[in-house]
């Protein structure tokens, strides 16, 4: 997996509560990304390795989107 330095990550989202659904959805994206894409890499991993890899997503804010102060917490609406 491609990684960036931790100091560049501006948001991390925990997907552990939806891990089962996320793991099940990965094969649906098997044609995306070509060689080295996530479905190809995760297919042969153990359940614990899949959990470690897929339980969080990290994002980088590349440019400000507005003058509004950045939020530090995400809200889940059910």
For the cut 80, the answer to whether the pLDDT of residue 32 exceeds it is no
CB of 9 closer than 8 Å to CB of 58: yes
For the cut 70, the answer to whether the pLDDT of residue 22 exceeds it is yes
Q: Give me the pLDDT at residue 38, please.
A: 60
Token pair of 29 as six digits: 């994206």
Section 49-65 average pLDDT: 83
Q: How far is CA 15 from the centre of its chain?
A: 8
> pTM, whole model, 2 decimals?
0.56
Integer Cα distance of 72 and 69 in angstroms = 9
């Amino acid at each position: 997996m491609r990684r960036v330095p931790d100091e560049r990550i501006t948001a991390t989202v925990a997907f552990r509560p939806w891990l089962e659904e996320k793991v099940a959805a990965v094969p649906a994206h098997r044609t995306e990304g070509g060689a080295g894409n996530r479905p190809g890499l995760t297919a042969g991993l153990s359940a614990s390795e899949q959990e470690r890899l897929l339980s969080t997503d990290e994002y980088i804010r590349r440019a400000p989107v507005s003058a509004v102060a950045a939020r530090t917490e995400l809200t889940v609406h059910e």
